[in-house]
Amino acid sequence: MPIKSLFVPPYAIQGEEIPAHIIWDSLDYSLIKIEIPSDVIKLKEIYNVKDEMIDISDNLIKIRKVEVEGYLGMLFSTTKLKECSKSFHVNFSFFGKNGEKIVDETRDIVLFRPQLRLEEVPNVIKVDTEKALVYNKIRIRKIGQGTLIVNFNTPKDSEIQKITPDSISSFLANFRKDAEANLEEVKKRFPQHSALLDRYINLIVNGWTTYEELDDAKKLLKELHTVLIENEQLLEALFYAIAQAVSKNLKLFTLPESLLRYIDSIAAYKVWLAYPWYIIPIHKEPKNLELELLLTDLLLDKYEPIRLRLKIYGTKEGYLELARLFKWEEQK
């Protein structure tokens, strides 16, 4: 077989970049054609080809010659689609000196994305405050492939506001103090990255609560990744500083056992809660709860938020983990 290797990933998240390559041996060709569905993916970069040796027109890429014989590399960008999942194929063809097709290979790709769907939202939720029991939960379902990250936000006009428990606040405050102390020597060794390290610690402690902050977090993590892959000593120093600060204060990080079981159970649906520890105050009389579900995936791409409005009350005054308001349905 003249084709030694042809790689295209069979699955990718919508919006993700797709690498591809083809390696061959002893092929007497005059033209390579790559056919793609241009409404789904587009060529972003191509490797081992001079500009004058390539023609691109909509869904067809033509290459007359590569620089170093036997290899062609590509990087495709993908489009976010209305569908949660879409299958398509990419075709690779080599043509001989007389125009005859001497290689014809096709690879199938599935572009996917996760999505949340509300199944039922009650107008009023009642809580047994002592037992942390929610009688009529918000029924919700994740559809589509891939992991979905959910963050809860309570807008300013909501009567009920989310709260970070004292134990978590104490952990984060002490973690910041110790991490910053650990990083003092690191900053002296790498002063050009001092501001970047400060921003990273701020992200760990403060998290993100809006899509604008998510965008900032994505840019920061990309910048940090670029720096760290080029500087192994900085990577090791940062890892130690953070690991030591976490280990020292881990005893302060406490979550109810029942909430940990809940978090573990929804992980089976490939749903992660960004900050599962948020709690809300429960009152004996009904109060308005305005709730936003901010959604992202493992690429930290944004999805349309889900907004809810309901009333909630309990058998007595107290607090409830916000995550307990939701009942996750099996994926269909």
* Structural domain boundaries in the chain: 3-112, 115-329
- φ/ψ of 258, rounded to 5, equals -65, -35
pLDDT of 251-296, one tens digit each? 888 888 878 888 887 888 889 999 999 999 999 999 999 999 999 9
Residue-level pLDDT at 278: 95
Task: Give yes or no for a contact between 94 and 30, defined as CB atoms under 8 angstroms apart.
Answer: no
Edge-to-edge order in the sheet of strand 3-7: 3-7, 18-24, 71-78, 41-47
pTM of the model: 0.81
Determine whether domain 3-112 maps to CATH 3.40.50.300.
Answer: no
Query: What pLDDT score was predicted for residue 1?
Result: 64
Least confident of 6-15, 111-120, 250-259, 297-306: 250-259
Contact call for residues 253 and 245 (beta carbons, < 8 A) = no
Alpha helices by DSSP H, 51-165: none
Mean pLDDT of the chain: 93
Question: Coil, strand or helix: which one is 163?
Answer: strand
Give the pLDDT confidence of 106-122 residue by residue, as tens digits.
999 999 988 899 999 99
What is the residue whose two structure tokens read 């390559």?
Answer: 21
Positive/negative CA dihedral, 18, 19, 24, 29: positive
Strands 148-153 and 271-273: parallel
Q: What is the pLDDT of residues 116-140, one digit of tens each?
A: 999 999 999 999 999 989 999 999 9
Here the tokens at position 293 are 């579900």
Q: Within 13 A of 274's CA, how many CA atoms are on the CB side?
A: 22
Residue with tokens 């938020």: 305
Task: Give residue 174's pLDDT band: very low, low, confident or very high (50, 70, 90).
Answer: very high
The answer to whether residue 46 scores a pLDDT higher than 70 is: yes
Mean pLDDT of 90-97: 95
Interatomic CA distance for residues 155 and 169, integer angstroms: 20
Neighbours of 133 (CB within 10 A): 13
DSSP code per residue over 111-131? EE--EEEEEE--SEEEEETTT
User: What is the per-residue pLDDT for 205?
Assistant: 95
38: three-class secondary structure by DSSP: coil
pLDDT digits (tens, 9 = 90+) for 183-240: 999 999 999 999 999 999 999 999 999 999 999 999 999 999 999 999 999 999 999 9
Q: Is the pLDDT of residue 58 over 90?
A: no
What is the model's pLDDT at position 255?
80
pLDDT at 94 over 90: yes
pLDDT at 193: 95
One-letter amino acid identity for 29? Y
Does position 26 have pLDDT exceeding 90, yes or no?
no
Name the H helices within the chain: 166-189, 194-206, 211-229, 232-249, 257-267
193 Cβ contact partners less than 8 Å away, ≥ 6 residues apart: 187, 227, 234
